[in-house]
Amino acid sequence: MIPRFRGIVLLLLTAALAGCFAPMTTREAQEIASSSLSAYCGGKCGAISLARTQRIKNRWLVDFEAPRQKFTVIVENDGNSKVTAWDK
């Protein structure tokens, strides 16, 4: 009975950990970028809209537009992000 229990536990742990190592989806990258941009702006950037999202190698570039600026948020696969702003 114990070897069967070990096998079941090992199978469940493997399935649970597989979700942690799955590649980031477009939606996840957009959510991380949106929260990073909100923290960066602090409500002072005006109305922000999502412009486009693209994957380049192992990172995501998420572009946003505001009335006076354009923003690019680089999202790494590990969840780290960096905001860059340009004036229009």
Q: What string of pLDDT tens digits covers the 88 residues of the chain?
A: 566 667 777 766 666 656 566 688 999 999 999 999 999 999 898 899 999 999 999 899 999 999 999 999 999 988 899 999 999 8
Using the structure block, give the residue that is written with the tokens 């486009």: 52
List the structure tokens of 18: 């597989």
Please give the model's pTM, rounded to 2 decimal places.
0.74
DSSP three-state, residue 78: coil
What top-level class would CATH report for the domain 24-87? alpha beta
Strand 59-65 to strand 81-87: parallel, antiparallel, or no bridges (unpaired)?
unpaired
Q: Are 36 and 45 in contact (CB under 8 A)?
A: no
